[in-house]
Amino acid sequence: MNEEFHCRVLQTMEQLSLISDIKESAHRDHLTGLHNRRYFYQYAEKLLKGKNQKNTLALLDIDFFKNINDTFGHEGGDQALKQVGSLIRSTFSNFTVARVGGEEFAIILPEIELERGREYFEAFRKKMASYDFSISDKSIKITTSIGLADFQDTSLTQAMRVADKALYQAKSQGRNCVV
């Protein structure tokens, strides 16, 4: 009887661990280890509910990512995504960061107004531009274009549209800038 109880407890613990792993993988991007788009949207919606605070939303896009893929292959592109994701994660470790598309990342800075957020992202842009990324044993420079949006009394969908438009402007202005 005691042995049977012990076995059932172990079995239940293993199942709970498996469930936890499945939940975690449902919210993570398998390549970068960052949160995924789904988690990001859920988090942002919770952040908005019932709070009247200013937040900064940023969309970051790796400049000329297609060239990285063309030069180093998809494995090199994956290496670039992992390294950029790691740099973003370490720089914005106190904030929610997600990979929301191919070479696109999103970050919310809660309770940080747009102009202060711009300072954070301008510093990050410079840091990334000066960083030596190692792709297929070659050192390369990678830059990012960043679009920002004020995120307070608006829907996430609207804030994402504004940030996406700003990102497009950054790309139109020659890339490697914050708009």
Angle ∠(166,64,124) on CA atoms, nearest 5: 55
What amino acid positions are annotated as catalytic residues? 103
Q: How far apart are CA 63 and CA 56, in angstroms?
A: 21
CB–CB of 81/33 below 8 Å? no
Pick the closest to residue 27 from 15, 43, 14 (CA basis). 43
Q: Which residues pair with 134 in a beta bridge?
A: 139
Query: How many Cα atoms occupy the beta-carbon half-sphere of 20 within 13 Å?
Result: 6
